[in-house]
A = this chain, B = another copy of it.
């Protein structure tokens, strides 16, 4: 296992975001008028604040993948420049995530993110109305999305498959945005047919979550390892195992929303129910519940209003008593096991040592731990 830590990623991420902001402030016409420069300063500070607090699982997966699979050719040793470029590719994904979360919070009108106010909520406190806060956050998301692309472009340059790495990064952008569109469209989805719901949820999770959480880190890590030209199955494994692991991660995340300590997650328990989110757990509950429970669920999710605390508690009880929570935990386990088997087979095909394989599986498993 490499020695790279969450803290190393945090540090480099903050370096890149701060440098980009400073560059913009220096190179584009600014104003001395204090009202305007103050707002620019707030947005610049928010860029750093919004970037903080992630677990960096995606970045660490990309980095670990590149190192693990580079070893298999025995003669690939990363230069310092390559190592720096791999870290920056990993950071680019984290920057993209920050951009996507800022836009996601505007769409969901979410108050908090990672235990702090969401970007638009934080920015609106400086402005005369809430709409301005959303406007500033929308632009901050745009700036960070461009910065993620800029970072991926610069850092992919050194690799022999630079163009494929960059295209993979752009595809990831598109896919997450399509997943968001699917997510919004699911809000009005009829709950009478639970298999339709399950199909839509799975496709949304693949696009909106797995794409940038697991598939792109695996794909880009493999491409950056520069050692898989001969192993044709590598990329199909990245896609297949990455999708399974990514869906498992999202269901696991949905479960945390229901059964965890709000102080650890930074979000209130049952937030997804409150907002009427169409989740895998809900789909299971609709499938497994008795008819009284099912009617209650369908009725509760019908309108776009926010559900009350007593509704949340009742729905949560149905999720438990119907066996939906248990079924979702089982699904996470099964998806993880299937993903792990594919990853294991790839490691064997690539002659990765048992010890490295073990370490690599451990990195992957953190998405469902």
Q: Measuring CB to CB, which residues of chain A are less than 8 angstroms from any residue of chain B? A: 24, 27-33, 35-36, 38-40, 43, 103, 106-107, 109, 127-129, 131-132, 134-136, 138-143, 145-146, 149-150, 153, 166, 170-171, 173-175, 177-178, 180-182, 184-190, 196, 199-200, 203-204, 206-207, 211, 243, 304
Contacts and interface: CB of A to CB of B under 8 A. Distances in A.
B146 A39 contact: no
B177 A142 contact: yes
B138 A40 contact: no
A175 B186 CA distance: 35
Contact of A107 (B24, B138, B190): B138
A215 to B, nearest CB: 11
A197 to B, nearest CB: 8
Contacts of A211: 28
A30 to B, nearest CB: 6
Nearest to A167: B150
Contacts of A145: 142, 145-146
Contacts of A142: 103, 141-142, 145, 173, 177
A26 to B, nearest CB: 12
Number of copies: 2
15 contacts: A24-B174, A24-B178, A28-B207, A29-B206, A31-B203, A32-B199, A36-B182, A36-B185, A36-B189, A39-B181, A106-B138, A107-B134, A128-B187, A140-B181, A142-B173
Given A187-B132, A189-B36, A199-B33, A166 B181 contact: no
A184 B135 contact: yes
B28 A174 contact: yes
Contact of A304 (B129, B134, B136, B139): B129
A96 B94 CA distance: 24
